Amino acid sequence: MKATAIGLSALSVGQRALDIIGQNVANAATPGYHRRRPHLVPLVHDGFHGTGVAIQRIVRYEDRMLRSAILNVTSEAAVAHARIDVENQVQSLASATQIDQQMARFFDAATQLSARPSDLALRRTLLTAATEVAASFQRSAIGLGEIHASVRRSAEDVVRDINRLTANIAQLNKEIVYVLSKRGEPHDLRDQQDGLIAELAQLVNITVLPQTDGSKLILAASSPVVVSGESLPLKSEIDGAGRIILSPADTTFELPVTHGRLAGLFQEFNEFVPRYLDRLNTLAREWMRAIDQTQATGLGLDGPYTQLSGTRSVFDATLPLDSAGLALPVQTGELFITVTDETTGTRELVSLSIDPSVHSLNDLATMIGAATSGRVTASVTVNRTLDLQASAGYRFDFAGRLPTSPESVAMAGTSIPRVTGVFEGPANDQFFFQVVGSGTIGVTPGLTLEVRDQLGNLLATHNVGDGYTPGAELPATQGIRVALSAGTTNNGTFSTRMIAQADTVGILPALGINSFFVGSDAASIAVNPRLLDDPRRVNASRDGFAGDSRNVERLVALRDQRLLESGTRTLGQYSLDTQAMVGSEVRSLDARREATAALKLGLEQQEQGLIGVDVNEEMVRLLEFQRLIESASKYLMVVNRAMDAIMEIFR
């Protein structure tokens, strides 16, 4: 009887082994399948007598350390994959909008206008180019906004996928524990669970901790999400700083998302896309500030103004300007206003010292009226913008034009000085004129006129005595001319301020007064409708004459001025730098993706060598168990014949 049991156990084991081999062969191409093998042990009765063979357990090949390494590199690779998808969208947007090229076309149009500043067609061409620049900024801002919103939606989808996967993993935990309690081998369930865990690792950084009951404890972003047969859902939300964060569904505690697709999306939403949008807005604001300040401190074909309205507001007209929400930056400095008497043609240059940390918009309005003795009044509108209005018979501008008479005169005689021209120096200055000697202009030998700047540097010396024609203009320097009328003087002196920049505060562009553009950032920038309606208002001139192009030449000069990055980058360079930044990020992510892909492939090949099915090897084992079955069958036949023979003896 024992011999029969031994033979039958061999047949049973052989048949079960063939089933296992068949399952391996059938799943040789199944992703995630772990090959199995039967672990055979001898059956022994009472510790002395063998009773056959049995399958103690079915071994499922796995290497937990190797699998953990694969999960980690999977999570790391997913960061680069998620980020590069977003960065490619940003790069495509930058290539499509071509802000730097649109700015270059604007400066080209300004260069053409500088040759014929009164040409209305060229003025319209400049305005068209400006409109294209504004449109490019708007398209970029809208596009980045859409990318930002899309990243958030993708992150929310990933969190939903995480919750779905953890729920399925928890359910498999239940089934695995149940099968084990019935002394079963839940290998197929473990394969399914490992596949889901691999999917989860692509989404977020996880830690897998096997438990003694056969289940797996899963931590996602350091928070338990699968505990035995229960899943603990997560949620994404926007915090007070506008960042998207991950937290357990029942708390607001931020979890550290370091790897997986979710980490890449979080990085793009919280850091990189906002960085590009911030750079875009920085460029748009500096573009508006520079262009608007040049426009505001020039003159159009109709000369000085009787009324101007600001287009940019503050949120509180009583707060200091630097705390009142100005879209463009301001600093302590001076604002020069030229007031012209239309009846006499007399011009006077008045100045305001403005401290944005002290003065409010209401203060500024009061200061303008006081400085101009009411000839120009300013008022704050209900929209908290500034309106300027000239009194009847007067006009005003911010071109920094020279007054018709020097500001300080002490000639001690009858000669009358006159200073004319447009100051072309790099910074505001004051010129002091000194007649050396006493006598009659144009008659007394040796009379000279010295011109000095505010530092006392000698700029020019001219003969104004014998040989000089009274009233003839003499070159002082930097576009300024000086003349003395017939008459007498006794070591006479006079001086006047030289204005290169009439608004060193930046208050005109900050308030949108006489500006080229309206808006406060890349999304809202647009060409001032008043210019589009009347191209004559494009301020190409500094002296008010139709043929003067000095202000539009200052506009052209902005192309090469280093206005950004602490005075190191031009507008065009800054735009190209942003594009280069995106391109560099894409290349870095590509390299990272390739490196992690190569590492993952190597680890997976290493794992596949352990868990994968080698059909040739399975065929060898198939033959082994085939021989086992054949041998056991022959053994049973022999045993049966022997038993029959023995039974015959006793009959």
Q: What is the pLDDT of residue 482?
A: 97
Q: What is the band of 624 on the pLDDT scale with cuts at 50, 70, 90? A: confident
Q: What is the pLDDT of residue 517?
A: 98
- Flag whether 384 is in a domain: no
Pick from 499, 584, 510: which is nearest to 542 by CA?
499
Sole residue written with tokens 């059938």: 26
- Flag whether 344 is in a domain: no
Q: What is the pLDDT of residue 48?
A: 66
Hey, which bits of 212-261 come out as E strands?
Answer: 216-220, 223-227, 230-231, 234-238, 244-248
Q: What is the pLDDT of residue 651?
A: 65
Quick one: 174 and 211 in the same domain? yes
Quick one: 9 and 152 in the same domain? no
Q: What is the pLDDT of residue 528?
A: 97
Quick one: 217 and 256 in the same domain? yes
Instruction: Please compute the mean of the pLDDT values over residues 72-96 and round it to a whole number.
Output: 94
**pTM > 0.85: yes or no:** yes
Quick one: 422 and 455 in the same domain? yes
Instruction: Please compute the mean of the pLDDT values over residues 339-364 and round it to a whole number.
Output: 96
Residue that finishes a domain, picked among 498, 514, 541: 498
Residue that finishes a domain, picked among 483, 498, 513: 498
- Flag whether 451 is in a domain: yes
Q: CB of 206 within 8 A of CB of 246?
A: no
Q: What is the pLDDT of residue 10?
A: 82
Q: What is the pLDDT of residue 50?
A: 77
Helix (H, G, I), strand (E, B) or coil at 513: coil
Higher per-residue confidence, 336 vs 56: 336
- Flag whether 609 is in a domain: no
Hey, which bits of 455-594 come out as E strands?
Answer: 458-463, 474-477, 480-484, 488-490, 493-498, 517-518, 526-527
When the pLDDT of each residue in the chain is averaged and rounded to a whole number, the result is: 93
Order of strands, sheet of 347-354, starting from the edge strand that comes earlier in the sequence:
347-354, 333-341, 394-397
Quick one: 462 and 594 in the same domain? no
Helix (H, G, I), strand (E, B) or coil at 248: strand
Which residue range is the domain that position 18 belongs to? 2-61+614-649
Residue that finishes a domain, picked among 498, 529, 549: 498
Cβ-proximal residues to 583 (8 Å cutoff; 6+ apart), any chain: 91
Q: What is the band of 408 on the pLDDT scale with cuts at 50, 70, 90? A: very high
d(CA 419, CA 347): 12
User: Does the structure show a pLDDT above 70 at 404?
Assistant: yes
- Flag whether 245 is in a domain: yes
Q: What is the pLDDT of residue 1?
A: 57
Alpha-carbon Rg for the chain in angstroms: 44
Quick one: 169 and 88 in the same domain? yes
Residue 210's beta-bridge partner residues? 216
Quick one: 94 and 43 in the same domain? no
- Flag whether 529 is in a domain: no
- Flag whether 530 is in a domain: no
User: Does the structure show a pLDDT above 80 at 373?
Assistant: yes
Quick one: 39 and 79 in the same domain? no
Instruction: Please compute the mean of the pLDDT values over residues 142-166 and round it to a whole number.
Output: 97
- Flag whether 589 is in a domain: yes
Q: What percent of the chain has pLDDT over 70?
A: 99
User: Does the structure show a pLDDT above 70 at 56?
Assistant: yes
Number of helices and strands in the chain (H, E):
13, 26
Q: What is the band of 161 on the pLDDT scale with cuts at 50, 70, 90? A: very high
Quick one: 20 and 88 in the same domain? no
Question: Domain total for the chain?
Answer: 3
Q: What is the pLDDT of residue 215?
A: 94
Write out pLDDT tens, residues 217-246: 999 999 999 999 999 999 999 999 999 999
Quick one: 77 and 44 in the same domain? no
d(CA 357, CA 373): 25
Task: Give the Cα-Cα-Cα angle 499, 559, 530 (nearest 5 degrees).
Answer: 70
Quick one: 70 and 218 in the same domain? yes
Quick one: 11 and 92 in the same domain? no
Sole residue written with tokens 């705390």: 323
